[in-house]
């Protein structure tokens, strides 16, 4: 407890400093969300943050199989899509699921990939092709083989970019892909 302050006064000061009150902002600067605090100041990305928290040793991205990258990319892509859907409207989970499911199916991912193909760097094209050409033990459900392979390549690219720490590029490509799908 600070000298000359009661326990209640110390608690009020702590609440004021942690909340967005004027007195708190003056003392601690502009209010930031936890992500801004953790990532904005340190320039640490989400993948690096997770690796640090989980105590995962450094690794070589090139050592991962394209299907492993696609496995992770599927989850990252779904999280990006679900975040976009949820932030557009606070609606029922059933409606949110319908909206996100329409965007995460293989056919939609294939359309997105075709829309962004011209925007990929050589490195990104190589990762996409490795994923597209990988031989998967699973079969396409409710999708053509071509769409399934294209979607696998797209997911491998997303997984690679995520592990590389370039979530900004993932979001950029997803937005461009969504825009490209709606223009056709």
Could you give the residue ranges of the DSSP H alpha helices within the chain? Answer: 7-18, 22-28, 34-35, 46-54, 66-88, 93-104, 106-116, 122-133, 145-164, 167-183
Interval 61-103: pLDDT, tens: 888 999 999 999 999 999 999 999 999 888 898 999 899 999 9
**Mean pLDDT across the stretch 150-174?**
93
Interval 28-38: pLDDT, tens: 444 444 444 44
The total number of residues written for the chain in this structure: 184
The per-residue pLDDT for 118 is 94
The pair of structure tokens assigned to 80 is 């990006």
Q: pTM for this one?
A: 0.72
Which 3 state secondary structure label does DSSP give 92? coil
The per-residue pLDDT for 76 is 95
Would you please indicate which residues are annotated as catalytic (active-site) residues?
74
């Amino acid at each position: 407890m600070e000298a000359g302050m009661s326990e209640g006064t110390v608690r009020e000061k702590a609440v004021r400093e942690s909340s967005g009150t004027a007195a708190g902002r003056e003392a601690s600067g502009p209010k930031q969300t936890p992500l801004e605090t953790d990532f904005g100041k340190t320039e640490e990305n989400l993948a690096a943050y997770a690796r640090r928290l989980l105590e995962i040793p450094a690794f070589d991205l090139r050592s991962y199989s394209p299907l492993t990258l696609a496995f992770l990319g599927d989850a990252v892509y779904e999280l990006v899509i679900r975040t976009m859907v949820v932030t557009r409207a606070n609606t029922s989970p059933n409606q949110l699921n319908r909206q996100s499911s329409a965007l995460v199916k293989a056919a939609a991912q294939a359309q997105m990939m075709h829309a962004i193909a011209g925007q990929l760097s050589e490195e990104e094209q190589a990762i996409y092709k490795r994923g597209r050409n990988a031989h998967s033990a699973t079969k396409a459900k409710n999708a053509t083989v071509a769409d399934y392979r294209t979607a696998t390549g797209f997911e491998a690219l997303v997984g690679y970019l995520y592990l590389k720490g370039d979530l900004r590029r993932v979001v950029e490509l997803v937005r461009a892909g969504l825009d490209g799908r709606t223009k056709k």
